[in-house]
């Protein structure tokens, strides 16, 4: 993989529903061009009457036909916060299987009642599942975002070869999990400030190749066919995210057949910091049942303190909820083949701002009290 001549790192994914009337600005190094206000990537849409069409699939733009492919800009975005949409509001996510289940048919055989898609065919069975888990005090949305903003863990999205224009027919995208803010790399800081100078560690389980344990890195999650259309980044790849409440209570979400659909924004930074970029939009994908269940072992029962795995009462309850909500095949290539559903669809909103890639860090011990090799599945 070739690395561009100009390199700029970004970190901080701050999530939130993006206001549709906001302006996005595309450009670099003083050549800023303000586009007309438009809806952000992944934002809600409606019919002419203002009521969302319950069976209009959520669209993603195609590769721009007349765009100049490739450039020399490299940007890294790091996770700051996530919104899984469990607090209500517009549906969060994308139509992953191209179906609009209820009234249309499902893309796999559900274990029980057929789970209906949300408005516009959006697949996000994880919303109700996470609401159930959060309601039991295991985790909650404010705690996850607070820990992300404290720099305890996160994820990094690197965009290479962008031409800096609203349309680019070819860019590369990589995603790394992060073990959090690198305090050793930024003297005097105990947590990120999100001013473009923060340094974030890179989880070594996400790295395929590196230079002496440091950047530049090549991720195991790499999409070399991504593009930018109308100011929005579009990428398809499987990628990891780490969320949780502290350094010992975290969940590694393995997003299979994932999609990133987000608007690239730029603005003048304060002082001599130049241009500051951000990424705002939607991430979505398929969370394989076995991966989801196995990840729970790193969390603890809020009442007993026992790990949520094995014979734990909380685990058995959560497992029953997971297995009842399987709504999609773990791989898109198995859609519409009549197979049993094997994953839970996932969707979230996110935002990102400048930071830098730091050192490579090992994954903490996993498996909790059930051991590092413990696993489970919804199958017989």
pLDDT, one tens digit per residue, over 242-300 is 887 766 677 889 999 999 999 999 876 555 556 788 899 999 999 999 999 998 888 88
Share above pLDDT 90 across residues of the chain, in percent, rounded to a whole number: 41
Flag whether 32 is in a domain.
no
Per-residue pLDDT at 25: 29
Which domain range does residue 245 map to? 6-16+67-370
Extract the runs of DSSP E, i.e. beta strands, from the chain.
6-7, 25-28, 31-34, 73-78, 82-83, 154-162, 168-178, 199-203, 207-211, 214-219, 221-229, 232-246, 249-268, 275-288, 343-353, 356-361
SS3 281: strand
Q: Among 28-32, 300-304, 327-331, 354-358, name the one with the lowest average pLDDT.
A: 28-32
pLDDT tens per residue, range 124-143: 999 888 887 777 767 778 88
How many CA within 13 A on the CB side of residue 69?
Answer: 11
Per-residue pLDDT at 251: 83
Inform me whether the pLDDT recorded for 367 exceeds 90: no
pTM above 0.75, yes or no: yes
Flag whether 234 is in a domain.
yes
Count of structural domains, the chain: 1
Inform me whether the pLDDT recorded for 29 exceeds 60: no
Flag whether 255 is in a domain.
yes
How sure is the predictor about 373, in pLDDT bands with cuts at 50, 70 and 90? confident
Flag whether 281 is in a domain.
yes
Flag whether 249 is in a domain.
yes
Q: Among 142-151, 158-167, 261-270, 330-339, name the one with the lowest average pLDDT.
A: 261-270
Q: How far is residue 85 from each of residues 118, 127, 154, 365, 369, measured CA to CA in Å?
A: 12, 6, 19, 30, 31
Flag whether 51 is in a domain.
no
How sure is the predictor about 46, in pLDDT bands with cuts at 50, 70 and 90? very low
Output the average pLDDT for the chain: 80
Flag whether 55 is in a domain.
no
Flag whether 377 is in a domain.
no
Per-residue pLDDT at 56: 59
């Amino acid at each position: 993989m070739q690395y561009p001549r100009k390199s700029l790192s970004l970190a901080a994914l701050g999530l939130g529903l993006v206001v549709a009337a906001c302006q996005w600005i595309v450009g670099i190094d003083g050549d800023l061009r303000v586009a007309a206000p438009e809806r952000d990537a992944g934002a809600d849409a409606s019919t002419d009457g203002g009521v969302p069409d319950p069976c209009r699939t959520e669209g993603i733009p195609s590769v721009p036909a007349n765009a100049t492919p490739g450039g020399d800009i490299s940007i890294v975005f790091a996770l700051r916060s996530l919104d899984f949409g469990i607090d209500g509001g517009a549906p969060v996510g994308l139509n992953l299987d191209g179906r609009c289940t209820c009234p249309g048919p499902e893309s796999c055989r559900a274990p029980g009642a057929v789970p209906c898609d949300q408005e516009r065919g959006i697949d996000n069975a994880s919303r109700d599942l996470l609401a159930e888990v959060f309601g039991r005090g295991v985790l909650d949305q404010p705690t996850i975002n607070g820990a992300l903003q404290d720099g305890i863990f996160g994820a990094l999205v690197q965009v290479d070869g962008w031409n800096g224009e609203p349309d680019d027919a070819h860019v590369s995208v990589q995603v790394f999990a992060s073990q959090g803010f690198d305090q050793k790399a930024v003297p005097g800081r105990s947590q990120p400030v999100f001013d473009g100078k923060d340094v974030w560690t890179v989880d070594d389980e996400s790295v395929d190749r590196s230079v002496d344990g440091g950047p530049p890195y090549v991720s195991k999650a790499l999409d070399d066919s991504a593009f930018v259309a109308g100011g929005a980044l579009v990428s398809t790849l499987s990628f990891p995210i780490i969320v949780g409440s502290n350094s010992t209570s975290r969940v590694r979400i393995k997003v299979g057949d994932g999609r990133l659909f987000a608007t690239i924004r730029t603005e003048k930074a304060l002082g001599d910091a130049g241009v500051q970029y951000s990424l705002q939009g939607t991430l979505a994908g398929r969370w394989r049942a076995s991966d989801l269940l196995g990840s729970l072992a790193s969390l603890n029962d809020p009442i007993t303190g026992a790990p949520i795995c094995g014979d734990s009462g909380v685990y058995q309850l959560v497992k029953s909820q997971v297995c009842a909500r399987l709504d999609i095949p773990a791989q898109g290539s198995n859609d519409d083949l009549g197979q049993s559903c094997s994953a839970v669809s996932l969707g979230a909103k996110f935002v990102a701002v400048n930071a830098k890639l730091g050192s490579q860090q090992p994954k903490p011990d996993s498996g909790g009290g059930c051991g590092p090799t413990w696993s489970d599945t919804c199958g017989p």
